[in-house]
Amino acid sequence: MTPIDWIIIGAYFLIIVAIVWWSSRSQATTTDYFLAGRDIGWFAVGASLFASNIGSEHIVGLAGSGATNGMAQAHWELHAWIMIMLAWVFVPFYYRAGVFTMPEFLEKRFDSRSRWVLSIVSLVAYILTKVSVTVYAGALVFRTLLPYTFGTPDNAFWVGAITTVVLTGIYTVFGGLRAVVYTEVMQTALLLIGSVFITYFGLSLLGGWGELKMIIGQNSDQFALWRPNSDPDFPWLGVLIASPIIGIWYWCTDQYIVQRTLSARSLTDARRGAIFGGFLKVWPVFIFLIPGMIGYALQTKGLLPIPLDENGNVLGDMVFPSMVANLLPVGLRGLVVGGLLSALMSSLASLFNSCATLFTVDIYEKLRPGKTQSHLVKVGRIATGVVVGFGLLWIPIMKQISEGNNGLYDYLQNVQGFLAPPITAVFLLGIFNKRINADGAFYGLVVGFIIGMFKLTVQTMTQSGSIDSSTMLGTLGSFNAYYFSGVLFLFSVILIIVVSYMTVAPTAAKVEGLTFGSVTDAQKAENRASWGWKEVAGTGVVLGLVVAVYVYFSFWL
């Protein structure tokens, strides 16, 4: 890192400070603090959706996956079509309900039990996965780019982790969602520019697209988009089953993401923002996965030094930081490091604000009703600080888990594959079937969560050798995680339906406007008035891009 690089990074932080100062001037109510006054335009909503998704764990982990698994995990990056579902299927119900959180929507549709379960599960999951994984990935970047700036590489790791968490926590505490959203608009542009430069310089050094295809083609089984069902890690059928289940949970029901659409100034802005976010979501295949494969090809030709494990295989999570450190010229390196920092901070900021919203609105306000708006905002800020603390405490454990796993991105998808099925089942059935009741939703969430966590525990112990793989528990632990995600989803659907139809049906007043079968004529007219040819055309563009990418990469090797 040169002085010019540091100047660029310093300028970035000055802009962040200015946005936070501007945002902090109007935080009088919970609507201001948690939903930015419900006054965000569609462009900012879409950019914020994309930036919240693309954290440093995504850049580092997805590039690492590209280097070790090729296009196998591109299916998760082509979830732009699921964002179209968010825009057309889910957003009208959420926006019409006027809720702050997804657990609050479940309470309106079912009862308070489902709200409590989803709130607690979400908070625990955020701290144990998203906060820690994001911080760990960002710290890896510091360790690679500034190995001796703070004495040793390990010191650089911890300085990077703690500094970014604390700084992000401060600007989230004071700026609220408005600061989060508007910094993410800037960060989206910086992130895209930086990743494009990585791809350009990497391909130039390698010798072009044809050279990449030739090198990758020599190991086509390892880098193909579609793997045979006999593949132990990415069987095509398991991937096709699990990825939509995880995608619908993440993009359509997760507070961390959906909160952006709830902050829109109108239903039109919410829908249009989700469609624009879908357009942006197509590009990570080209700006993260492809650079990972370029890094592998460069290392194969001896043009890029990337650390190897004890078996001589490329350490996937070190690919992107190594490319930044070795390929980029002065100035651009600072720009890309700024992009990495922005990705880390935007994801953490979104996460901190979502956690604070869940705790304040779904837990604290239920336990202590009648508090003033200013008091609730203060509680939200304290909750953000507590989440920051828990995230820091979990980093050492996350470091051990990640270094003993197949990479950050694979770890993340596995954990999400065990959390997502019951939540996806409850939301889909709750919106599409008005007969589904509170008992079905509650038991589906609780039983599904217990089974998912049991599988995660047994799988981790089997992989570590604590459980013999030849035993019954070991067989469960070794069972492919993606197939298990589908089994758990099917089980959750059956359980929810059986319990619902064995118990009392919800009243018409309880479900009015919250399911497709109970939308009133006035609500249908309001929904129809919120979209036109622009939204339809945007939807066509996004779906066309998804199909084009699938067709090309299905036959590119």
CATH number at residue 475: 1.20.1730.10
Q: What is the mean pLDDT of residues 65-86?
A: 89
Distance (Å, rounded) from C-alpha 400 to C-alpha 444? 32
Identify the residue with better confidence: 7 or 294.
294
Return left, alpha or beta for 407; rule: phi > 0 is left, psi -120 to 50 is alpha, else beta.
left
Main-chain phi, psi angles of 411, to 5 degrees: -60, -45
Structure tokens at 537: 């055309």
Angle of CA points 3, 201, 319, to nearest 5°: 85
Closest by CA to 79, choosing from 292, 236, 249, is 249
Structure tokens at 461: 């112990």
Q: What is the pLDDT of residue 219?
A: 83
Closest by CA to 451, choosing from 418, 417, 474, 481, is 418
Q: Do the Cβ atoms of 415 and 456 come closer than 8 Å?
A: yes
pLDDT band at 217 (very low <50, low <70, confident <90, very high): confident
pLDDT tens across 299-309, in order? 888 888 877 76
Structure tokens at 85: 């579902």
Distance (Å, rounded) from C-alpha 246 to C-alpha 411? 13
Q: Do the Cβ atoms of 418 and 449 come closer than 8 Å?
A: no
Q: Is the pLDDT of residue 286 over 70?
A: yes
Q: What is the mean pLDDT of residues 107-114?
A: 92
3-state secondary structure of 518: helix
3-state secondary structure of 122: helix
Distance (Å, rounded) from C-alpha 123 to C-alpha 131? 10
Q: Do the Cβ atoms of 196 and 204 come closer than 8 Å?
A: no
Closest by CA to 171, choosing from 159, 179, 182, 160, is 179
Q: What is the pLDDT of residue 539?
A: 97
Task: Report how far apart, in Å, the C-alpha atoms of 494 and of each of 444, 469, 488 are.
Answer: 9, 29, 10
Q: What is the pLDDT of residue 10?
A: 81
Structure tokens at 2: 């040169």
**Least reliable range by pLDDT among 107-111, 129-133, 157-161, 240-244:** 129-133
Structural domain span for residue 513: 3-554
- Total tally of structural domains belonging to the chain: 1
Q: What is the pLDDT of residue 221?
A: 84
Main-chain phi, psi angles of 506, to 5 degrees: -65, 150
Cα-Cα-Cα-Cα torsion 393, 344, 261, 62, nearest 10 degrees, comes to -100
Q: Model's pTM, two decimal places?
A: 0.84
pLDDT tens across 534-551, in order? 999 999 999 999 999 999
Cα-Cα-Cα-Cα torsion 131, 137, 138, 143, nearest 10 degrees, comes to 140
Task: Report how far apart, in Å, the C-alpha atoms of 27 and of each of 32, 330, 380 are.
Answer: 5, 40, 11
Q: Do the Cβ atoms of 5 and 334 come closer than 8 Å?
A: yes
Q: What is the mean pLDDT of residues 39-46?
A: 84
Q: Is the pLDDT of residue 357 over 80?
A: no
State the residue for tokens 């989230």: 172
Q: Do the Cβ atoms of 39 and 262 come closer than 8 Å?
A: no
**Least reliable range by pLDDT among 64-78, 187-201, 210-224:** 187-201
3-state secondary structure of 369: coil
Q: What is the mean pLDDT of residues 265-273?
A: 91
Distance (Å, rounded) from C-alpha 115 to C-alpha 363? 9
Residue partners of 424: CB distance under 8 A and separation at least 6: 245, 248, 249, 253, 489
**Strand extents, DSSP E, 142-285:** none
Distance (Å, rounded) from C-alpha 187 to C-alpha 181? 10
Distance (Å, rounded) from C-alpha 266 to C-alpha 297? 47
Q: Is the pLDDT of residue 512 over 80?
A: yes
pLDDT tens across 175-191, in order? 555 666 666 667 667 76
